Amino acid sequence: MIEIVRLALEEDLGAGDVTSRACVPESQQAGGRFIAREPLVIAGLPLLHELYEAPVILKRDGDSCADGDAIATVSGRARTLLERERVALNFLQRLSGVATLARRFADAVAGTGCRVLDTRKTTPGLRALEKAAAAAGGVTNHRMGLFDAVLIKNNHIAAAGGVRNAIERTRASGLPIQVEVRTREELREALDAGAAHLLLDNLTPAEAAQWVREIGGRAKVELSGGITLENVRAYAETGADFVSSGAITHSARAMDISFRLELA
């Protein structure tokens, strides 16, 4: 059992499910169905294998579900099914919320040639799961953490003594390098230093389009800051290669999924 599932069960169960122990016979067998209660994009289904013995998975992560669709079925001791119901739903509802919002972002930029990226603005401890859900929804995963790509931001630039210094000092890492630029002067300095991937933050779509024209294909461009579902297409149409939005993970709402128990 993966650690995050074990921790979730320990948090919920504690010394045991006193309600189920009190009113459900120990030998009672049952089945259960997970059902979508609104249109959604499902994610988190592999976790059911960590919670139940031989679940029957009826959908795949990334599948669209209609209201009333069965997602998966499980069977076993009724007490066990009841003990694990809330943990299973918490994971499915949360991760499906991320996948559903990600799909809406991906659909919003369709045809522009621009890709939507997620960010590190994730629930502590759930990053790998939330990023998998974002990918299932159709967006592209950005770096997983501080360890797998270089992203030089404004505070790094200040600490390094300038854009060029920061870029030159990170080349030896051998990792992909991206640098955030906030002024035209920093932009020119980054391009002169050979930056291949730029992050432009907190520009309007009109400003971003001007900067993208000035860059002229000399570097890949990502736009971030204040990008929402309502304005993401305007940013994508600036000619940028990527747009990123933390909302995909930090502001996704839990989707409505229910569990129905049936006695064997």
CATH superfamily of 107-250: Aldolase class I (3.20.20.70)
Kindly tell me if the per-residue pLDDT of 175 is higher than 90: no
Nearest residue to 218 via CA among 243, 198, 245:
198
Kindly tell me if the per-residue pLDDT of 1 is higher than 90: no
Q: pLDDT value at position 207?
A: 97
The sign of the dihedral angle between the CA atoms of 75, 78, 84, 89 is positive
> What percent of the chain is predicted at pLDDT more than 70?
100
The number of C-alpha atoms within 13 Å of 73 and in the hemisphere containing its C-beta is 9
Annotated active-site residue 201? The verdict is: yes
pLDDT tens for each residue of 5-58: 999 999 999 999 999 999 999 999 999 999 999 999 999 999 999 999 999 999
Instruction: Spot the catalytic one: 12, 63, 69, 201.
Output: 201
Instruction: Spot the catalytic one: 33, 37, 120, 121.
Output: 121
Mean pLDDT of 89-103: 98
Instruction: Spot the catalytic one: 86, 115, 120, 169.
Output: 86
pLDDT tens for each residue of 128-167: 999 999 999 999 999 999 999 999 999 999 999 999 999 9
Nearest residue to 58 via CA among 44, 69, 47:
69
Annotated active-site residue 59? The verdict is: no
Whole-prediction pTM:
0.95
**CATH domain 3-98+253-263 topology:** Aldehyde Oxidoreductase; domain 3 (3.90.1170)
Instruction: Spot the catalytic one: 115, 153, 169, 182.
Output: 153
Instruction: Spot the catalytic one: 17, 61, 130, 180.
Output: 180
Which residues of the chain are in CATH 3.20.20.70 domains? 107-250
Which residues of the chain are in CATH 3.90.1170.20 domains? 3-98+253-263
Annotated active-site residue 180? The verdict is: yes
Q: What angle do CA 132, 179, 150 make, to 5 degrees?
A: 50
